[in-house]
Amino acid sequence: MLRVAVLASGRGSNLRALLDAIRRGDLDACIVGVFRDTATAGARAPARDAGSAATHVDPKACATRLDFDRALFDRVDASGADLIVCAGFMRILSPEVVAPRVARMINIHPSLLPRYPGLHTHQRALDAGDREHGASVHVVIPALDAGPVIAQTRLAIEAGDTAETLAARLLPREHRLLVQVVRWCGERRLRFDAERVHFDERLLTGPLAVD
């Protein structure tokens, strides 16, 4: 069974999607810990409900960014996680902590990377006049949403869409995307590093598609 650690800063909806898939028997994994950089992160409630340990590491209690990263990953490593999932984790991590773990750390991002790294992705897609939008799961490297893209889900932008309606329509697809990528990791079908992704031992030349 795949042991998964989840890093979260926000409401925890992607964590909830993983937990729900595990409960349904659709995902052979267990959440061994949830790690937060904000005391009020919504991820705390689903972690508690699932009986998973929820750990808060306060950046303000650390002298430097690197001190925080090291304190955080000391706790992540102690969980024994096989896979580290950044699910709404709003911090860029230091090379010193990413490099030893890059082959087992992924992030989900609400855009069709490399388009729109960072924040406000739904509004940026609308402002650009895009015809489609989506979400990506990518390898974590010490740069903002810049690692190799593993898989994506896409949806058409409809007339009259707002950032709010677009986000709401995308969210279920985002959840399915993350669950599928974690499932592939558990099945040992994915292998990746800071530069490339292999699926079933074949080098990917573009992201996998998830409906």
Q: Look-up: residue for tokens 């889900």? A: 153
Instruction: Report the CATH number that the domain containing residue 9 is assigned in CATH.
Output: 3.40.50.170
User: Mapping DSSP to helix (H, G, I), strand (E, B) and coil, where does residue 171 land?
Assistant: helix
pLDDT value at residue 158: 97
Amino acid at 169: R
Separation CA 3–CA 10 (nearest Å): 22
pLDDT of residue 10: 84
Domain count, the chain: 1
CA angle, residues 146, 147, 148, in degrees to nearest 5: 125
Residues of the chain with pLDDT under 50: none
Query: Scanning the structure block, which residue is given the tokens 């690197």?
Result: 66
pLDDT of residue 20: 96
The domain of 133 spans 2-209
Of 109, 122, 138, 175, the catalytic one is: 109
| Residue-wise pLDDT tens digits, 147-196 | 999 999 999 999 999 999 999 999 999 999 999 999 999 999 999 999 99
| Helix %, strand %, coil % of the chain (to 5) | 35, 25, 40
Q: What is the pLDDT of residue 49?
A: 64
Q: Is 120 noted as a catalytic residue in this protein?
A: no
> Does the global pTM surpass 0.85?
yes
